[in-house]
């Protein structure tokens, strides 16, 4: 039995767990992080938002990010054949170096963040699986029951942070996991490709989102992750995938691969890009999107990242939500440990709830047929975005990750933007600094 007591035990070493660990150690606390896998380990989710930049600075890893990962100036939304598309460059609204975001190979990125936690002073035990958190102790500590090399261990801490990702360890234990009512269940299939026919916006580093309309309620992502590789994923409605599985399984012994290729080829835009290209690794599947825990924190516990909730990844929001949430929660927990009360933790969760609500609203704009058409959104602004500068800038800021501080204003803005006739009325509702012309990268992409 390990007799040592830690200030905080963190379950899971993904971006949310390692950010929480590094922040708590920086704030002077003792931290033990337990991770069931051996890093580096693969993970889906490779495109980051510019608002992560400040966190990289706070964690002291910005130079490593710049040295190791490819850059992302913005997002391109396209219809299925590429005849209608819109480019969104973060430089349009962000006038400092953070406008250029990153795409990452997750194995390398997550490993780098976890190593950073160790360098900062956190204890990290990999290949250690947490089984349960026991809150029944009379001395106000929490006992974490874990397993390592087949041996059970009881570990003590004053507080536990659950960052176990989609395993949702504590939400399952506390039976507080709920579906987002307004979001459909979806499934995603993805892999990496090489030898592709790159188009201009991909060459520039934009993530491309291709809308698959109708019953598919879906989309393709294309993420240029370096080494001449594209990560290409397919996300569709679960019911559609199940029906296709039944059909394809009659004749195919690899229905996943056949389904994935069938859907990519249903887009003439994607077909052109993968013509003659090669799949570089096995196709992975991720399903059952969109849930939240309705008791995200308590006296001696807090949930961060996917362990607290997960939203459809269409707007690449997950890692930023997890890292920013992890950082805010770490500050709140530090105050509790220092006997300074719970106000900071309560505030953190108010903003986390607001951020998830904002992203949920944004996601709904993509799937509702009467809402903003992202691939043609610039046309909805009549091509003359100067006239609608406030609305246009706000959408850029939301796409860049401005979820935590302005969520109330932005939720209102999204509601209004659902209705085209309201754009004119709305345009001066939220004032923004004068927006100069975009950066060189943006100008080049806008010219495509
Ligand atoms: C199809 C798809 C595409 C996505 N695309 C993007 C994208 O482009 N951009 C983006 O920002 N996000 C994307 N996401 C979301 C993103 O991947 C997640 O939001 C992010 O990984 C959350 O980080 P986390 O630290 O909360 O969880 P994770 O990264 O999942 O880490 C959780 C860790 O906990 C460990 N663990 C689990 N259970 C235990 C246990 N019992 N004991 C010990 N350790 C445990 C796991 O091994 C894991 O390492 C995507 C998600 C999906 C499904």
Intervals of CATH 3.50.50.60 along the chain: 5-43+106-178+290-358
**Dihedral (CA of 291, 294, 295, 296) sign:** positive
Intervals of CATH 3.30.9.100 along the chain: 186-287
Q: What residue's CA is closest to ligand 1, atom 13?
A: 45
In three-state secondary structure terms, 378 is: helix
Label the pairing between strands 229-237 and 186-194.
Answer: antiparallel
Closest listed residue to residue 73, CA positions, set 174, 202, 234, 262: 202
Contact 34, 128 (CB under 8 A): yes
- Which pLDDT value is given to residue 289? 66
Q: What residue's CA is closest to ligand 1, atom 14?
A: 45
State in Å: Cα 289 to ligand 1 middle: 12
State in Å: Cα 106 to ligand 1 middle: 10
Contact 415, 47 (CB under 8 A): no
Residue 185, number of CB atoms within 10 A of its CB: 16
Label the pairing between strands 151-162 and 85-89.
Answer: unpaired
Any atom of ligand 1 within 6 Å of the Cβ of 11: yes
Q: Is 5-43+106-178+290-358 CATH 3.40.50.300?
A: no
- Which pLDDT value is given to residue 18? 98
Tokens of 448: 């495509």
Any atom of ligand 1 within 6 Å of the Cβ of 313: yes
Any atom of ligand 1 within 6 Å of the Cβ of 5: no
State in Å: Cα 209 to ligand 1 middle: 21
Any atom of ligand 1 within 6 Å of the Cβ of 164: yes
State in Å: Cα 307 to ligand 1 middle: 9
State in Å: Cα 275 to ligand 1 middle: 31
Q: Is 186-287 CATH 3.30.9.100?
A: yes
State in Å: Cα 350 to ligand 1 middle: 22
pTM of the entire predicted model: 0.93
Phi, psi for 209 (deg, rounded to 5): -115, 120
Question: Beta-strand (E) ranges in 238-308?
Answer: 278-279, 284-287, 291-293, 301-303
Q: What residue's CA is closest to ligand 1, atom 39?
A: 164
Question: Beta-strand (E) ranges in 307-347?
Answer: 309-310
For 210, residues 6+ apart whose C-beta sits below 8 A from its C-beta are 78, 79, 80, 82, 219, 220, 221, 222, 267, 269, 270
Closest listed residue to residue 439, CA positions, set 197, 98, 63: 98
Q: What residue's CA is closest to ligand 1, atom 33?
A: 12
Q: What residue's CA is closest to ligand 1, atom 3?
A: 45
Tokens of 71: 């850059």
Mutate to test the pocket of ligand 1, among 44, 49, 160 (most ligand atoms within 8 A of CB): 44
Phi, psi for 252 (deg, rounded to 5): -115, 145
Helix H segments across 97-144? 106-120
- What does the pLDDT profile of the chain (448 residues) look like in tens digits? 556 799 999 999 999 999 999 999 999 999 999 999 999 999 999 999 999 999 999 999 999 999 999 999 999 999 999 999 989 999 989 999 999 999 999 999 999 999 999 999 999 999 999 999 999 987 889 999 999 999 999 999 999 999 999 999 999 999 999 988 777 788 999 999 999 999 999 999 999 999 998 889 899 999 999 989 999 999 999 999 999 999 999 999 999 999 999 999 999 999 999 999 999 999 999 986 689 999 999 999 999 999 999 999 999 999 999 999 999 999 999 999 999 999 999 999 999 999 999 999 999 888 876 777 788 776 655 545 555 667 778 888 999 999 998 898 888 888 877 765 555 555 444 334 333 344 444 444 444 3
Mutate to test the pocket of ligand 1, among 162, 313, 352 (most ligand atoms within 8 A of CB): 313
User: Cis ω on the peptide bond leading into residue 178 (within 30° of 0)?
Assistant: no
State in Å: Cα 166 to ligand 1 middle: 6
Give how far Cα 54 sits from Cα of 59, 314, 359, Å.
Answer: 9, 22, 20
Rounded Cα distance, 173 and 13, in Å = 19
Any atom of ligand 1 within 6 Å of the Cβ of 111: no
- Which pLDDT value is given to residue 139? 82
Q: What residue's CA is closest to ligand 1, atom 31?
A: 14
Q: Which atom of ligand 1 is nearest to the CA of 166?
A: 30
Rounded Cα distance, 362 and 379, in Å = 19
């Amino acid at each position: 039995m390990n007799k040592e007591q830690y200030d905080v035990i963190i379950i899971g070493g993904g971006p949310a767990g390692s950010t929480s660990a590094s922040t708590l150690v920086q704030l002077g606390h003792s931290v033990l992080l337990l991770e069931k896998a051996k890093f580096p380990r693969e993970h889906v989710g490779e495109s980051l938002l510019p608002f992560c930049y400040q966190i990289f600075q706070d964690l002291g890893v910005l130079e490593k990010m710049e040295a190791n990962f490819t850059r992302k100036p913005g997002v391109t939304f396209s219809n299925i054949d590429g005849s209608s598309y819109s480019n969104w460059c973060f430089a349009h609204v962000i006038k400092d170096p953070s406008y250029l975001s990153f795409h990452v190979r997750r194995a390398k990125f997550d490993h780098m963040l976890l190593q950073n936690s160790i360098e900062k002073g956190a204890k990290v035990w990999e290949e250690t699986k947490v089984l349960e958190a026991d809150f029944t102790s009379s001395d106000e500590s929490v006992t974490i029951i874990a397993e390592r090399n087949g041996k059970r261990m009881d570990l003590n801490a004053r507080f536990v942070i659950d960052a176990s990702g989609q395993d949702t360890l504590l939400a399952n234990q506390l039976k507080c996991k709920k579906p987002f009512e307004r979001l459909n269940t979806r499934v995603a299939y993805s892999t990496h490709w090489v030898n592709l026919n790159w188009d201009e916006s991909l060459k520039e580093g934009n993530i491309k989102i291709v809308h698959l309309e109708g019953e598919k309620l879906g989309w393709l992502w294309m993420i240029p992750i370096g080494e001449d590789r594209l990560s290409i994923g397919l996300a569709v409605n679960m019911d559609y995938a199940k029906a296709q599985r039944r059909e394809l399984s009659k004749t195919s012994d690899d229905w996943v691969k056949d389904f994935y290729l069938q859907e990519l080829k249903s887009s003439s835009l994607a077909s052109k890009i993968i013509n003659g290209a090669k799949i570089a690794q096995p196709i992975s599947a991720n399903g059952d999107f969109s849930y939240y825990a309705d008791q995200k924190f308590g006296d001696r516990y807090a949930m961060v990242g996917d362990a607290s909730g997960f939203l459809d990844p269409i707007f690449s929001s997950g890692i930023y939500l997890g890292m920013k949430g992890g950082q805010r929660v770490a500050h709140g927990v530090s105050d509790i440990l220092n006997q300074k009360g719970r106000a900071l933790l309560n505030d953190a969760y108010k903003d986390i709830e607001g951020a998830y609500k904002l992203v949920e609203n944004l996601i709904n704009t993509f799937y509702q047929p009467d809402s903003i058409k992202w691939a043609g959104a610039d046309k909805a602004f009549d091509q003359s975005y100067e006239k609608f500068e406030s609305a246009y800038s706000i959408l850029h800021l939301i796409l860049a990750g401005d979820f935590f501080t302005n969520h109330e204003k932005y939720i209102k803005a999204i509601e209004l933007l659902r209705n085209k006739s309201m754009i004119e009325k709305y345009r001066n509702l939220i004032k923004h600094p004068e927006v100069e012309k975009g950066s060189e990268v943006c100008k080049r992409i806008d010219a495509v």
